[in-house]
Amino acid sequence: MEPSDRSESHWHRALLFLTGLLVLPALLIHLNGPVFIDDEGIRSLVAFEMLKSGEFIQATINGEPYFKKPPLYNWILAAGFSLTGIVNEWTARIPTVIFLLLFSGLIYRSVLRGTGQPDTALVSALLTLTCGRILFWDSFLGLIDMAFSTLVFVQFMWLYEQDKRDRPWAYFTGSWFLAAVAFLMKGLPGLVFQVMTVGGHLVLTGRWRRLFHPGQWVGGLIFLLITGTYYALLLQNASPEQVFGTLFHESAQRTPTHHGFLQTLSHLVTFPLEMTYHFLPWSLLLVFVLTGFRWRTLWRHPFFGYLMLVFAVNIPVYWVSPQVYPRYLLMMAPLVFTVGYEAWKRTPDASILRKSFRGLFMVVSALLAVAAWAPLGLPQTANASWLGPRTGILVVLMAVAAWAIWRYPRLLFYGLIVQLLTLRLAFDWFVIPDRLKHDTATAAREDALRVGAAFRDKPIYFLDQVCLSTTSSFYLSTARDAITPVWKDRPQPGTAYLVNASVAIPPGFVPTDTIRVRHFNDRIPYVLLIESAPAIQ
């Protein structure tokens, strides 16, 4: 081995060591800091109410039936709350981190088995973990999507492995079982992925007759048995219209049927641009797939061709649906990044495209190394704790990675991965604390916790309807350690109620406290009402 090669190998190992050193701190620091967004509040409030009521089939929010999502992920959250004895942002979000690490490990294992290339497998897993949408958003939110994406990715890889081994019974029964579990987690999307992937895979490979294999029917029965058992229990106390009407509406509202022609047309144009933005920087690797006819040779490879096929048959469902969030596509990210990285590897070093790509990120790496000094001069970080030592760590990590990128062309991706993890560390240390100081959501959380603590041993109700976001309702209820239900009769003296500030206060009641809403630029608070006259004098 040449000295230069040995030096590059040492730096390769050093960057891998730094990656391993940074992953957990980057994902865990201030995980409990940001206030829940509303979807997090829904998931966590449903799980909390399951524990308080002991009812794990009929989910509720503020004691009212909730049918929009099946209960599997709520069961996972409830199990975490129960095992730890803690119900807060940390215990609601740690499953997301666990599933992200599991997702990354499964990507590594699957790509290694499919290609026999450890480098491609490792980089594919790390590209998924460090893409912008995951690293700076979905990795610290207590939502269904990371768990669901992990499950759907397992489904993709199960189909590939069983098809490669020519095991049609396992191909169908195993994938339908996974589809049933996915359905119990998120509803109809779990079924859609099964139908599109199996149908597209067999039809596009010219084996459509296998769709009628007996394993297909047995698998379908497994799906119906698992999902049907749950819904049979649920329908004992709910009508089919409530259950299935809500379930189908929840998915259908995102499709063209619920949006106008112009909105759908606009989405068709903006969708690829928007998704490219959200999954930067690694979404740029698509350029290498779409140029130079490399997609043709990749298509002929059994594993890369399968990844391209799965992407091709599933992406139209989202491309034509105007109300789509990037987190719905997380399971697609490793398909794109794996094929994109392979296309990059197959592009000659001397090509203009590869030189341009490398030149762009060399500049970016240098800018990040310079920007690492920024916390020392920004007013937002002037009073940050451990400002000097933390900035020093960022500067060293960014500079080391940038130097490796400039010195060794083959270490480009490893150096950028270290820089992205370092950037997430800066986000944790400086951005999150600053947001907590100025975000209106922080005030809303403080109000809900304060009022909830004051009524920990006393009843309190929403009058006529829930007038808080699910996030504020979560904080209120967990501070009380009790479900906060809706009161729909005449308000009773001696009982506290929550009503919207714009609603007339019932006779005999006076406002005694407020809970600010998450977006209160209009300065309309929610008002806490209690009994007036002799009780408060």
Both tokens of 520, joined, read 């209160």
Do 392 and 521 lie in a common domain? no
Place of tokens 């068709």: 268
pLDDT one-digit tens code per residue, 21-62: 999 999 999 999 899 999 999 999 999 999 999 999 999 999
Q: Which residues pair with 521 in a beta bridge?
A: none
Identify whether 71 is part of a domain.
Answer: no
d(CA 73, CA 349): 46
Both tokens of 248, joined, read 């189908």
**Interval 345-367 mean pLDDT:** 94
Do 243 and 365 lie in a common domain? no
Domain count, the chain: 3
Instruction: Note the pLDDT of residue 18.
Output: 97
At 534, the pLDDT band (50, 70, 90 cuts) reads low
**Interval 296-318 mean pLDDT:** 94
Of the ranges 275-289, 328-342, 421-435, 492-506, which one carries the lowest mean pLDDT score? 492-506
Instruction: Note the pLDDT of residue 438.
Output: 83
Number of CB atoms found within 10 A of residue 264's CB: 16
Both tokens of 298, joined, read 């990749």
Do 227 and 171 lie in a common domain? yes
Identify whether 427 is part of a domain.
Answer: yes
Instruction: Note the pLDDT of residue 253.
Output: 61
Contacts of 296 (CB under 8 A, 6+ apart): none
Identify whether 20 is part of a domain.
Answer: no
Given a cut of 80, whether residue 143 has pLDDT beyond it is yes
**Interval 2-8 mean pLDDT:** 72
**Interval 419-444 mean pLDDT:** 93
Of residues 524 and 469, the one with the higher pLDDT is 469
Given a cut of 60, whether residue 486 has pLDDT beyond it is yes
Do 100 and 218 lie in a common domain? yes
Do 316 and 422 lie in a common domain? no
**Interval 404-411 mean pLDDT:** 94
Do 191 and 319 lie in a common domain? yes
At 470, the pLDDT band (50, 70, 90 cuts) reads very high
d(CA 279, CA 430): 23
* Residue at which a domain ends, from 299, 319, 345: 345
User: Percentage of the chain with pLDDT > 90?
Assistant: 76
* Residue at which a domain ends, from 322, 345, 368: 345
At 238, the pLDDT band (50, 70, 90 cuts) reads confident
Identify whether 475 is part of a domain.
Answer: yes
Identify whether 47 is part of a domain.
Answer: no
Print burial letters for 454-483: b (CB count within 10 Å at least 16), e (below 16): bbeeeebbbbeebbbbbbbbbbbbbbbebb
Helices (H) and strands (E) in the chain, counts: 22, 7
Of residues 528 and 264, the one with the higher pLDDT is 264
At 259, the pLDDT band (50, 70, 90 cuts) reads low
Given a cut of 80, whether residue 431 has pLDDT beyond it is yes
Given a cut of 80, whether residue 252 has pLDDT beyond it is no
Under 8 Å between Cβ of 71 and 59:
yes
* Residue at which a domain ends, from 315, 345, 375: 345
Given a cut of 80, whether residue 250 has pLDDT beyond it is no
Do 118 and 163 lie in a common domain? yes
**Interval 436-465 mean pLDDT:** 91
Amino acid at site 498 = L
At 263, the pLDDT band (50, 70, 90 cuts) reads confident
At 247, the pLDDT band (50, 70, 90 cuts) reads confident
Given a cut of 50, whether residue 487 has pLDDT beyond it is yes
Do 247 and 379 lie in a common domain? no
Can you give 382-422 as a three-state secondary structure string? CCCCCHHHHHHHHHHHHHHHHHHHHHCHHHHHHHHHHHHHH
At 1, the pLDDT band (50, 70, 90 cuts) reads very low
Instruction: Note the pLDDT of residue 536.
Output: 45
Q: How far apart are the first and last CA of the chain?
A: 88
Instruction: Note the pLDDT of residue 537.
Output: 42
Closest CA to 96 of 137, 53, 65, 56: 137
Given a cut of 70, whether residue 406 has pLDDT beyond it is yes
Identify whether 368 is part of a domain.
Answer: yes
Range of the domain at 495: 441-536
d(CA 361, CA 424): 18
Do 158 and 216 lie in a common domain? yes
pLDDT one-digit tens code per residue, 315-339: 999 998 877 899 999 999 999 999 9
Identify whether 359 is part of a domain.
Answer: yes
Instruction: Note the pLDDT of residue 309.
Output: 97
Its pTM surpasses 0.85: yes
pLDDT one-digit tens code per residue, 106-135: 999 999 999 999 999 999 999 999 999 999
Instruction: Note the pLDDT of residue 255.
Output: 64
Do 469 and 388 lie in a common domain? no
Given a cut of 50, whether residue 104 has pLDDT beyond it is yes
Do 97 and 117 lie in a common domain? yes
Mean of the per-residue pLDDT values for the chain? 91
Do 106 and 204 lie in a common domain? yes
Identify whether 178 is part of a domain.
Answer: yes
Under 8 Å between Cβ of 318 and 100:
no
